[in-house]
Structure 1
């Protein structure tokens, strides 16, 4: 029987990062690189494959599963079984075992999944296995055949192997002068459901992987490359020509005319002016109110006059991760032609000290008309969100507002990097977010919002102050929520602990995580107001 091949050599060209030629570095005018990151392996989907290159076999125990379309003769299976016993391989969730010299394959990589759940968590388990395979084979030069065990699930589940592999093979190497050429031969996913897997990959998951790449790239770039104006241009390039997408950008005069004193105050100490970028996608038609995602976009956070300690300050280039996730979510939904309406706001500024910088004790007027007393200039994220919220609620009348930000160190101390802190006053929306956390692999944990926190934010000279002595993560979220009009469902995601990983995991190499792209993509599709 001739093998059926679906979605042959699906191109990953769209994943390649945008060229940097137009991104001059303020101060030197010399960009650090004009080359993109290395291209990832392309994907194929087939019903059969011959013994060539590396073979990946997911395993939930010690027994080799039945494979469709990939032949291992009796002697080869016996050799693999002996090696499993000799190595003590149990098929556990984080186990891999590489075997060479068996059955004509350059190597056979066994990837443990652990006992497979039969609920929504199955998708995450298969995605993780794909990601671990990608990271284990990062230096493998030959083609890869990924054998999907029979009876594992429908294509909606098994296609997660491909998404996991795509996420796990991410690399950011454009600034390495001596970088080694990455593998270019394809990964072929072999399954009886190859055609359905390929269709799902092409129609939905490839867009999600591309969006995660965009968000990771934006957060990984140094602050002399990504600042408010270049963030806007990089996003324009990524979304150019995507049907249903429109982009609006407010510069300083436009924001000043609208009374956006909050974001303007944050950015006034920098030579790089702030921007308010609005990216909308209409996939459900005009009558449906959009889901609004407002992302904090501080492209570098020095703390301003309330200067941060020097140790670790370089990581503050990632303080725009919320904005990166917001615009990337629109890319994911729009490229997949999702039947939803969504609008993302990237509230972009650079928080720097200087002769014109905002001071502790200053009072600013937000677009909403509320006045705010500045307590610490290092609590700037909530300030840019305030004007972003007011603008999107006033102009777009959204069905719900999600704010996402690397907002507080208190969220990190409470939840480390395992969970994103979730806040809100609308239980239906909170439950919907929690429900999509498991299948997407982006877990949340709800923290409290109590009316008594309002007392911590009372100012003697303004409508409110923007910081207090109470629980930091909850106080920050309460401040943000105070700018959402009553009656509009709202939830807040504090990703201070999850936007970056020093450890890495199955689908996320060390570095920027793009946390929230998968969760918000799923939420936009599933939540009904």
Structure 2
């Protein structure tokens, strides 16, 4: 789809459709009022007939109105005006895109970007509207022999701004949104691929392709021999049970000041998780292809950063493996030695993601003077019990980093909730035979997993995102690309803050 930003009166738009909002109890938005005046009250008449009341998610399509150059006018319900917030904006724009795709319109002009929620601005509204349009239109068809045709004919969408003086701001917001959308699409594609196609080698090849597509990205891939020489015993203990070799992909994007410390993103790339010897139940095991969503998010964020050409230093790292039952696989009670030298008793082989991440965090500590490190993983079912699908779990050893990520989550709609990283929980991970156990029992499972990782990140300014509940959804089943919006908002805020200094 092509996207544009312009400014003009809704009645003067030569378009297949003009989109305007209506609040509950038939209260017209300013753009709807302008159309109502140009048409001699046609919209008001439709309201009085009871065709629409303005409730959330309601839409009404009007054809051939006199006084309007557009072929159609789409009315979108906004709910009560006093309750119009971020969520209402998202729902209205999503409902508009779905309704437009059921029409024969090839192009449309949306005035919903005029409806800026409290504490938000024009840039926010244009960015969110464009990202919603791209997300709503996304379809995963790579594995279908005959992909279903896209619904509707819409190929061009224009977002209107209040005046021509706002065009530069709107155009920059649109540019950013489309760059982030490109990264989100890559993340969703990787996550939705089945495990027999998206292997650790496939992920490494994705990193190489990013370097080929974007000269600013430099990629290197460590094979198992190199990982062994570095002492990555925790990571390699997981891959031993699989015929697929592990990979360790490092992507560097250094377009910021030379002396500026990089932000390092680390993502768990477990391309299929059977649970290993501690095998998972058969029901819904197909969803374990999503155990690499953290790694997929790192690839997506790196693509978005490069697409936008951000003046910042970012490193993306994806340790990747399968977790399978085999004669060489980890057994409950095995003790492995991590890259840091700490020994780990593997009490549950299904707690393998932390074994990948702990060696990756040590690699970061030894190779980069990072400003901050953010790791992300579909790490625990416990975080789903605690937070459901709406928020990712956040842990951080530095309050200002936690605050910045929380703020970025609120602004992007990709929200997080901070959970405790207290020393009190360390006792749950004590082992009589090794330095630490890889699990701490049923209680506070997400917390003890984060506490485990923190043992390998104490010298870093570090945050951990447990995205097990937010990285994919059930109905319809598919990846969400979270936390790419959060990561990009965090990075964009750093770029904008540096410009203001």
TM-score, normalised by the number of residues in structure 2: 0.88
Deviation at 1:245, TM superposition (A): 1.5
Question: Where do 5+ consecutive residues of structure 1 fail to align?
Answer: 1-40, 505-509
Deviation at 1:288, TM superposition (A): 0.9
- Kindly indicate whether residue 10 of structure 2 is the aligned counterpart of residue 45 of structure 1: no
Moved more, 219-228 or 441-450: 441-450
1:279-332 CA distance string (max 9 Å, x none): 121121221111111111100111111111111000110100011111211221
Residue of structure 2 equivalent to 1:166:
134
Counterpart Cα distance in 2 of 1:411 and 1:136: 35
How many residue pairs match? The answer is: 479
Query: CA, structure 1 residues 277+47, in 2 after alignment: closer, same or farther (shift >3 Å)?
Result: same
Query: CA, structure 1 residues 332+493, in 2 after alignment: closer, same or farther (shift >3 Å)?
Result: same
Counterpart Cα distance in 1 of 2:454 and 2:211: 30
Checking the alignment, whether the CA contact within 8 Å between 2:421 and 2:451 is kept in structure 1 is yes
Residue of structure 2 equivalent to 1:186:
156
Checking the alignment, whether the CA contact within 8 Å between 1:292 and 1:402 is kept in structure 2 is yes
Deviation at 1:246, TM superposition (A): 1.3
Aligned counterpart in structure 1 of residue 480 of structure 2, from 498, 504, 513: 513
Query: CA, structure 1 residues 107+271, in 2 after alignment: closer, same or farther (shift >3 Å)?
Result: farther
Checking the alignment, whether the CA contact within 8 Å between 1:307 and 1:378 is kept in structure 2 is yes
1:387-437 CA distance string (max 9 Å, x none): 111111210121111111101000001111111111122111111111111
Residue of structure 1 equivalent to 2:28:
64
Deviation at 1:359, TM superposition (A): 1.2
Counterpart Cα distance in 2 of 1:216 and 1:300: 16
Correspondences of 1:335-354 after superposition (within 5 Å) = 335-354=307-326
TM-score, normalised by the number of residues in structure 1: 0.84
Deviation at 1:184, TM superposition (A): 5.5
Residue of structure 2 equivalent to 1:273:
245
Aligned counterpart in structure 2 of residue 405 of structure 1, from 372, 377, 390: 377
- Kindly indicate whether residue 109 of structure 2 is the aligned counterpart of residue 146 of structure 1: yes
Deviation at 1:65, TM superposition (A): 2.5
Residue of structure 2 equivalent to 1:36:
none
Counterpart Cα distance in 2 of 1:279 and 1:495: 22
Residue of structure 1 equivalent to 2:341:
369
Residue of structure 2 equivalent to 1:483:
456
Deviation at 1:492, TM superposition (A): 1.1
Aligned counterpart in structure 2 of residue 359 of structure 1, from 311, 331, 335: 331
- Kindly indicate whether residue 343 of structure 2 is the aligned counterpart of residue 381 of structure 1: no
Correspondences of 1:16-415 after superposition (within 5 Å) = 41-48=1-8, 50-61=13-24, 62-67=26-31, 72=35, 74=37, 76=39, 78-87=41-50, 89-92=52-55, 94-103=56-65, 107-114=72-79, 126-148=89-111, 152=115, 155-160=122-127, 161-182=129-150, 183=153, 185-191=155-161, 192-193=163-164, 195-196=167-168, 199-201=171-173, 203-415=175-387
1:457-507 CA distance string (max 9 Å, x none): 111111111001231010111101111033x22111111100111246xxx
Q: What is the SS of the residue equivalent to 1:292? A: strand
Checking the alignment, whether the CA contact within 8 Å between 2:113 and 2:122 is kept in structure 1 is no
Higher RCO by CA contacts (8 Å cutoff, separation 6 or greater): 1
Deviation at 1:516, TM superposition (A): 1.0
Counterpart Cα distance in 2 of 1:214 and 1:425: 30
Checking the alignment, whether the CA contact within 8 Å between 1:299 and 1:318 is kept in structure 2 is yes
Checking the alignment, whether the CA contact within 8 Å between 1:132 and 1:168 is kept in structure 2 is no
Q: By percentage of residues, which structure has more helix?
A: 2
Query: CA, structure 1 residues 117+473, in 2 after alignment: closer, same or farther (shift >3 Å)?
Result: farther
Deviation at 1:203, TM superposition (A): 3.6
Counterpart Cα distance in 2 of 1:421 and 1:428: 16
Question: Where do 5+ consecutive residues of structure 2 fail to align?
Answer: none
Aligned counterpart in structure 1 of residue 436 of structure 2, from 464, 478, 494: 464
Counterpart Cα distance in 1 of 2:82 and 2:186: 31
Query: CA, structure 1 residues 85+360, in 2 after alignment: closer, same or farther (shift >3 Å)?
Result: farther
Checking the alignment, whether the CA contact within 8 Å between 1:339 and 1:525 is kept in structure 2 is no
Deviation at 1:451, TM superposition (A): 1.0
RMSD between aligned residues: 2.7
Checking the alignment, whether the CA contact within 8 Å between 2:113 and 2:126 is kept in structure 1 is no
Deviation at 1:89, TM superposition (A): 4.1
Moved more, 399-408 or 336-345: 336-345
Q: What is the SS of the residue equivalent to 1:331? A: helix
Deviation at 1:88, TM superposition (A): 6.8
Counterpart Cα distance in 2 of 1:84 and 1:144: 25
Deviation at 1:66, TM superposition (A): 3.0
Q: What is the SS of the residue equivalent to 1:455? A: helix
Checking the alignment, whether the CA contact within 8 Å between 1:159 and 1:200 is kept in structure 2 is no
Checking the alignment, whether the CA contact within 8 Å between 2:101 and 2:154 is kept in structure 1 is no
Checking the alignment, whether the CA contact within 8 Å between 1:65 and 1:149 is kept in structure 2 is no
Deviation at 1:228, TM superposition (A): 0.6
Deviation at 1:128, TM superposition (A): 4.6
